Amino acid sequence: MRAKLKNLTVNPCKMCMPMGAVHAFYGIARCMTLLHGSQGCSTYIRRHMATHYNEPVDIASSALTEEGTVYGGEKNLIKGIRNLCQLYDPDVIGIATTCLSETIGEDIDRIIKNYRTQYPESRVTLIPVTTGGYMGTQYEGYYRTLYSIVKHVEMNPEKHNGINIITGMLSPSDVRALKDILALFPLEYILLPDASENLDGGYETEYRRLPEKGTTLAQIARMGGARLTIELSLFNTPEYSPGEYLKEKYGVPLVRLSPPVGLRDTDAFIKYLSENSGCSVPERLKHERSRYLDAMIDSHKFNAEGRAVIFGEPDFVYSMGRLCCENGLLPVVCATGTSSPKLKELLSLEVGKAANALVAEDFELLDETDFEQIEMLALKHRANLLIGSSDGRRIEEKQGIPLIRCAFPIHDRVGGQRVTTLGYTGSLNILDSFTNTLLHIKEGSYRKTLYQTYYRPVKEVKQQATEKHPCFSCSGARQYARIHLPVAPDCNIQCKYCVRKFDCPNESRPGVTTQVLSPQQALERFLEVKKKLGNLTVVGIAGPGDALADFEKTRETLRLIREHDPDITFCLSTNGLALPQYVDELVALGVTHVTITINAVDPEIASKIYSHVTMMGMRYSGMAGAAMLVSNQLTGLKLLASRGIVCKVNCVVLQGINDHHIETVVEKVKSLGASVTNIMQLIPVKGSAFEHMEMLSAKAINAIRKKCEAILPQMYHCKQCRADAVGLLGEDRSLEFNEAKENAKAPGEKQGLRFAIATKSGLIVDQHFGKVDEFLIYEYSEGRVSFIERRNIDQYCMGAGACDDQEDKMTRIFNALTDCEGVIALRIGVAPQRKLEERGIQAYTTYDRIEEAIKKIAREMMGEEAV
């Protein structure tokens, strides 16, 4: 699905460049930031930072208006610098551009020159940085700013014995932790930037309006003469690396290290400091290390149950990913909104190893992503822990996955400025919060889980299936997903409240479905959905007509699915007219749950609800038809119940017709063996005979349910699903799955370039060529990518008996791919690649969304410019 969604960002996992610029400037002493653009940029960023840091955050603006967009913003910018100097008397003013000033093409260097000419007496250092909001994220904005700082501050290149330490966007508390470590070594260092005090100050009786602490200009000026730079980021690009600049310009050697988070990266950092300073590792750090290690061992058994989703800036995601991995806590999804192929590359080794240790679990690494994608993958991989900023709270609320808030911004908790993850102690601190969150989940549920998993007397087996059935159990409704397969278009009765249309995806009620599937298509849909929804436990046939009106289709569908999945629970819903006829077959097919809609047990009342019924090719209306229906429903119910099938009876309340009759219905079906009733509201449908009937209020319905509860358990959580509903109750995802099919073409008629894709996820090219049992075949023509089919290579086996042979697997693959121009896989060996090429099939390796990959490659093949 994602492949088509690249134009719309749903809930962004990134911010804009000026946000990074402000953070970097906040670590410089006596520095104010001025955003050159409309005042909203400053206001929004101040708001976001103040909420996170609980500190005043002062960002000036040149407050451009419409006039500025026409005549340029020079006047405003100079006035802004002037006023800032007058009121705040800063040593430095950081001038960051915004979308607006970049789009109108402001020449900041020239404006600064003009300022200098107009105010030659002004001593303030001005540092411009290009940070148009569309040029990157806050991550790039931050490093670009640091780069500009070292570039614009006048350097004193005189050599000295100090070292430069350049960090990413750390929390003030982490900066303090870093300084604590550095203080233990006999090193003179210059830390850039240092916002540890400016963004986390104490209570003072008088507020100081200028951030006084942080890296001073004098310190920065000495960076050019240092004997070494350590840049604590692996993902900052060399283009905007302050360390690279100092190396190029002043010959200061550069070392890149990962931030000291987790055991291994802290070890590496400390080892480096120790060697560099010629001082053995201080006792205190040794103690801290052993304490962290001890804790890692103590909590390993809990961590091993963790399945984390980590999202945020590349450095953060990498550090947290490594910390999780070394604790046996598998990061099933690592995601950043920034573009960072390197992050994926480095993490795929790290997480891949951890996943292998846990018997080849799946995981995902994403960049340039949004929270919609993250949420989907979190569900797919059954994540139980979210790690990142408070922007993940919507997933936490919706999906019930707990969120550890430990990255900027945190808006719904306090203490964002005090989150500590650095060094042994910081790592231990954050690890404890992961472990305790996992324990919180465990303590709340393990007794029940143990009971349900290990203590199951024989008679409870069916009960279990019921508990996992969202429509039969309240607790099941929140955890287990179901799929309704729309294979039964025909109906044998006409209810006066029903008009069945097949093309109305907006509505959510029984009898409505986007498209009717053949049994074979239904099987494919099931397999596809099962891949994506790990919690799928139930397959239901709910129409759009009646599941038993054309029993052939229902039977064939259930048979096919059973072949592929021996454990799935089958259920179907019916009006009951044909039930007595098929009870035996249903039992034989393994149907365990049946829902019968019985709106009346009195033929006279029933005759007001149904216009006619069709039996054996004859149409009966009025009392005759109604009597026939009621008697078959009740007989069918009794037969099913006697065979041990769990029966639910749905009953639609129709004001003035059966609303006083409901209790009688419930009593009757109870006596025949029904185990639950679902009393439902009428959904008046345009065009039906009851179109204008008034709906009962939810309160009235609940009152009836309450009354009937004395007789039989009631279902309160019914959502009146569509006939092709997919997912948890109340969260229909059928659109998503319907869409995937829309583009499918008949496999036969080839119209463009064909590609065979090696994929596990079905979304991303993420499988090694050698591991493939099945390829997805796509076609590219005129800029469009469409899915053709799945091809299982076993089906292309030519000689019996020889199929285990590697050589033959290759042959089978070649046979399967004769009509393809290319193969796209995560990786491919040299030999197979050569062999493919001999047969005129090009092999490509990439890690990308399928449709993206195909587009890029197809364009390349056809010699088009990539757009």
Interface size with another protein, residues (CB under 8 A)? 80
**Smallest separation, CB 97 to another protein (Å):** 11
42 binds another protein (CB under 8 A): yes
d(CA 302, CA 602): 58
- Is the Cβ of residue 74 or residue 350 nearer to another protein in the bound state? 74
Pick from 21, 63, 725, 850: which binds another protein (CB under 8 A)? 63
Determine the Cα–Cα distance for residues 326 and 723; give it in Å rounded to an integer.
46
> In the window 502-531, what residues touch another protein (CB under 8 A)?
505-506
Residues of span 204-223 touching another protein by CB under 8 A: 204-207, 209
Of residues 375-414, which lie at the interface with another protein (CB under 8 A)?
391, 394
The contact mask relative to another protein for 467-506 (x = CB under 8 A, - = no) is --------------------------------------xx
| Min CB(481)–another protein separation in Å | 19
Q: Rounded to an integer, what distance in angstroms lies between the CA atom of residue 498 and that of residue 654?
A: 13
Which pair of tokens denotes residue 696? 């009962």
Pick between residue 39 and residue 635 the one whose CB is nearest to another protein. 39
**Smallest distance from the beta carbon of 385 to another protein, in angstroms?**
22
Among 71, 110, 118, 134, binds another protein (CB under 8 A): 134
Task: Answer for the pair 492, 613: CB distance below 8 angstroms, yes or no.
Answer: yes
Q: Which two tokens stand for residue 114?
A: 């003009």
d(CA 364, CA 349): 12
Q: Is residue 79 part of the contact set for another protein (CB under 8 A)?
A: yes
Cα–Cα distance measured from residue 41 to residue 76, given in angstroms and rounded to the nearest whole number: 15
Residue 300 to residue 353: CA distance in whole angstroms: 17
Q: Is 51 near another protein (CB under 8 A)?
A: yes
Pairing mode of beta strands 163-167, 774-781: unpaired
Could you say which of 203, 457, 616, 863 contacts another protein (CB under 8 A)?
A: 203
Instruction: Tell me the closest approach of the beta carbon of residue 794 to another protein, in angstroms.
Output: 35
- Interface with another protein includes 45 (CB under 8 A)? yes
Inter-residue contact 561 to 540 (CB < 8 Å): no
Provide the minimum distance between the beta carbon of 383 and another protein in the complex, in angstroms, as a whole number.
20
18 part of the interface to another protein, by CB under 8 A: yes
CB nearer to another protein: give 620 or 716: 716
Residue 565 or 739: the one with the smaller Cβ distance to another protein is: 739
Distance CA 403, CA 417 (A): 17
Kindly state the smallest distance separating residue 66's Cβ from another protein, in Å: 5
Q: Taking CB under 8 A as the criterion, which residues in 520-579 touch another protein?
A: none
As beta bridge partners, residue 331 has 308
Residue 60 engages another protein in binding (rule: CB under 8 A): yes
Q: Per CB under 8 A, does 144 bind another protein?
A: no
Task: Tell me whether residue 92 or residue 100 sits nearer to another protein (CB atom).
Answer: 100
Torsion-angle region of 140 (φ positive above 0: left; ψ -120 to 50: alpha; else: beta): alpha
The one segment of 14-22, 264-272, 564-572, 829-837 that binds another protein by CB under 8 A: 14-22
* 86 touching another protein, by CB under 8 A: yes
> Of 98-127, which residues contact another protein (CB under 8 A)?
98-100, 102-104
Q: Which C-beta is closer to another protein: that of 46 or that of 344?
A: 46
- Tokens standing for residue 554: 């229902």
Rule CB under 8 A: is residue 5 a binding residue for another protein?
Answer: yes
Q: According to CB under 8 A, which residues from 710 to 739 bind another protein?
A: 735-736, 739
Nearest approach, Cβ of residue 606 and another protein (Å): 28
Shortest Å, Cβ 730 to another protein:
9
Q: Which residues contact 244 (CB under 8 A, 6 or more apart)?
A: 238, 254
Specify the stretch interacting with another protein by CB under 8 A; choose among 60-68, 224-232, 340-348, 817-825.
60-68
Could you give the 3-state DSSP secondary structure of residue 215? Answer: strand
Q: Please say which residue, 103 or 675, places its beta carbon nearer to another protein.
A: 103
Q: How far apart are CA 779 and CA 788, in angstroms?
A: 7
Q: Which part of the chain contacts another protein (CB under 8 A), choosing from 79-87, 184-192, 428-436, 799-807?
A: 79-87
3-state secondary structure of 745: coil
Q: Applying CB under 8 A, which part among 130-138, 327-335, 612-620, 826-834 lies near another protein?
A: 130-138
Rule CB under 8 A: choose which of 67, 294, 552, 794 binds another protein.
67
Contact 247, 226 (CB under 8 A): no
Site string for another protein, 165-194 (x = CB under 8 A): ------------------------------
* 54 touches another protein (CB under 8 A): yes
Nearer to another protein, 60 or 320 (CB): 60
* Residue 750 in contact with another protein, rule: CB under 8 A: no
DSSP assignment of 529-598 equals HHHH-TTEEEEEE--BS-TTTTHHHHHHHHHHHHHH-SSPEEEEEE-STTHHHHHHHHHHHTEEEEEEE-
Q: Where are the beta strands (DSSP E) in 266-329?
A: 307-311
**Nearest distance, CB of residue 375 and another protein, angstroms:** 12
List the one residue out of 659, 686, 669, 695 whose CA is nearest residue 596.
669
- Judged by CB under 8 A, the residue of 24, 25, 26, 76 near another protein is 76
Q: Enumerate residues 6+ apart whose C-beta is below 8 A from 291.
A: 424, 425, 428
Structure tokens given for 179:
């300084």
Among residues 393 and 562, whose Cβ is nearest to another protein? 393
Nearer to another protein, 17 or 606 (CB): 17
Sole binder of another protein in the list 137, 216, 677, 833 (CB under 8 A): 137
Any contact of residue 130 with another protein (CB under 8 A)?
no
Got the DSSP string for 627-663? Answer: HHHHHHHHHHHHHHHHTT-EEEEEEEE-TTTTTTTHH
CB of 423 to another protein, least distance (A): 28
Candidate list 23, 25, 27, 68; residue touching another protein; CB under 8 A: 68
- Residue number, 19 or 828, with CB nearest to another protein: 19
Is residue 62 part of the contact set for another protein (CB under 8 A)? Answer: yes
CB of 397 to another protein, least distance (A): 8
Among 9, 535, 611, 845, binds another protein (CB under 8 A): 9
> Looking at beta carbons only, is 57 or 487 nearer to another protein?
57
The Cα–Cα gap between 611 and 201 comes to 77
3-state SS, residue 677: strand
Choose one: 76-84, 153-161, 184-192, 512-520; the region binding another protein (CB under 8 A): 76-84
Residues in a beta bridge with 405:
388
Closest to another protein by CB, 3 or 810 = 3
Burial class (CB in 10 A: 0-12, 13-18, 19+), 127: buried
DSSP β-bridge partners for residue 488: 544
Cα angle: 148, vertex 182, 297; to 5 degrees: 115
By the rule CB under 8 A, 40 interacts with another protein: yes
Q: Is 135 in the site for another protein (CB under 8 A)?
A: yes
Kindly state the smallest distance separating residue 55's Cβ from another protein, in Å.
Answer: 5
Q: Is 352 helix (H, G, I), strand (E, B) or coil?
A: helix
**DSSP track, 72-141:** -SHHHHHHHHHHHHHHH--SEEEEEE-HHHHHTT--HHHHHHHHHHH-TT---EEEEE---TTS-BHHHH
- Provide DSSP, 838-859: HTT-EEEE--SBHHHHHHHHHH
